Structure 1
Amino acid sequence: MTTAEAPHLVGALRRPGYLISAWPWRALAYLATTAPIAGALSVGLLVVGAPLLAAVNAVRQHGRPVSLALTLFLAVGTLVLVAVAPIASAGAAAVERWRLGLVDDRPLAQRPWAGLRARYTTADAWREVAYTVWLGSVVPLAYWLVALLAGLDVALVASPWLAGDADDVVVLWTTVDTPGQAVPYAILGVLLVPVLWYGLGALAAAQATVARWLLGWPTDTAALREVTRSRARLVDAYEAERRRIERDVHDGAQPRLTSLSLQLGLARLDVPDDSPAARPLAVAHDQAKGLMVMLRQIVHGIRPQSLTDLGLAGAVRELADEATVPVTVHADVDVPLPEAVETTAWYVVSECLGNVARHSGATRADVRLDRDGDLLVVEISDDGRGDADPTRGTGLTGLADRVAAAGGRLLLASPPGGPTRVRVELPCRP
């Protein structure tokens, strides 16, 4: 049984199969595409930074005053840099938000252009400036250090071949003049390759974390916290009201309706078939039985009894057995979950399998339940025609709202031609 793939590089680094997955190559692609961007930004910073450092060094070492021309150049350059930075950082931030998808499958929404004034007066814009400066100053230094370590490792691995030349070869702290002397260092270099591979992933993960922190910063954290708290209170109140309605229907209305149906059935036995009252009585009896079925469906819709009896994994397997297409269930949930999380996850699977049957034209589907730290991950995929669009109906939109009310999020991938994949992440901290 396999577990769900990590949605971002930080989570993938903690998995034992990281080195044989696609994540190291995604990290390498992220680093490789960063290099030209960071290099171009560093050149722009050096135009002002290098003369400034030279002037400060001259004053500190020789006590010579800074010339008027250099002072004017530094002043004008600084003003131009401060004036241009909010505008230039908008493009750099947009590219970085898009590029973050190389190492993080969690979407980071692009921010629309809010006007020239907003580029100089909003905290979001200056966070983008801070990230651009960080990308052009700190990142190149880190990359040079990693490049140096990679070069040293390559030299270790290649040392037996280099030692065959006429000149002695310096390896780390010693000199070797024969291939035999260099073999232990080559073995050390080979053993360090996985470490270096992990190091590249860690560097990419650190850069992506800073990017998400600065470029995805909420506009009003205090307001967002209050919205989150109020939403949690509403969810708790909804769950309490749902349980009350379920109890009242199950213990009050349903037994009375059952008794009414029995009484009508007994009355039908006492009334002759040719009696004028036989026909209306039969209709009333049938309507009472139909109302019982409807009431059971209502109670089932409030909270499926299978969740209580079988747990989430069993209830999902029951949904799979009732589906009109073959459904494979992979469940790796071996600990109790909060009731609200179980109910939301069940509705997600139920709605998605219903969409598969009604709209996708699929021949098979897969459902996966997994724990990723404090998250319950629910994934539903099918081999249908794809092109699912939340704007064309209320099903997926309502499902996303229900997931958001539980503090989770819904991700949808459905290109034309398929396949369709729905991923839901629900917090399930005890």
Structure 2
Amino acid sequence: MATPVLMPQVGQDLEEGTLTEWMVEVGDTVKKGDIVAVVESEKASFEVETYQEGVVLELLYEEGDTTTVLEPIMFIGAPDEANNNEKVQAETTPVAAVTSSTENDTKAEQTSHLNTVISANHGQLGASPLARRVAANRNIDLASVSGSGPGGAVLERDLADAEPSSGNDYGDQPYSKVRQVIADRLTESKQTKPHFYLRTEVDVTDLLAKRKAYNQSNDDNLSINDLVIFAVSRQLKHHGKLNSHVFADRCTLLEDIHIGVAVSVDDGLLVPVIDHADRKSLKEINQASRTLAEGARNGMNKSKSRGSFTISNMGKWGVELLPIINPPEAAILGVGTINKRACCINNELGWRDFMVLTLSADHRAVDGVYGAEFMMKLKESITALDL
């Protein structure tokens, strides 16, 4: 019997995904764990793997089509099974039944038009939509790449070793789906959230020495950001208004502390989430941060939860920052560079390392004194960390 492979739901708020690249064709044999497609959501790209073995009987969508989560995107069955359209219709009827006939007609027209565009693009460029986007981001000339896809089409995996072209691209550059979401959300944030900012400096001289000794003795690689995440997650338990989602008519205080960590990627910014950060040890936070950051840079957002507070660290670039709040969250912490400077401590002049922290908060939910108390306690917590 033919078995459907469903559009996965990666994250609680994911409602639909765009199929950007098929990794299989009708007639291919697949086994459990094989990657069959690449899907792009509003937040990231992710791979779809199959949990069945058999032969690909039918691909229900073209590359570029968008469909809702938990809806069949392909069918796998025994080698001798025929492509049974009646079976496909029967399997998908319960999903389609919730949509009116008018909506179905509209969707069919849109899909037909989109399929025509995709077919035309494949004829011109000989590349999948994902490969075209990656090539544009990395300034790669697709004509110089040998494709491994159907009919010699260039797939995303073919670009791994491709060199950027020497020329520059000018003119209009349409936003990718991820870039458009960033534009929409941050514009909304600046236009609807009354931001205010609190800046402080933290003496991390002793903490840097502790971190160095810890990493050497444990053969580990704790980062400054890991230490900040650890300290922030503990302080949010005592400053619940900052661990909240803010809307026009209410503020929802959140019980769970899920820390989003801003990660720069080729096409913009992703914010993978460390869930229940306040329950994790430093080592667990370090492991989660590295895993999520690596996944984000590879286009895979492996977050399971929606963030309640975000941290953006740009210290490695030698700057300070005033970050924009990630809606619907109430606040975001910017971690700036660490600088040495001369200062007087106990009537003695010496060199100390100072880290700049900036809190951006939504004034609808948080007042200045409340935010200042959080920053004061956070500063004390960071300097007192015992590794």
More helix by share: 1
Alignment TM-score > 0.5, same fold:
no
Q: Using CA pairs under 8 Å that are at least 6 residues apart, name the structure with larger relative contact order, 1 or 2.
A: 2
Q: Which has the larger radius of gyration?
A: 1
Q: TM-score, normalised by structure 1?
A: 0.22
Q: Which has the higher strand share?
A: 2
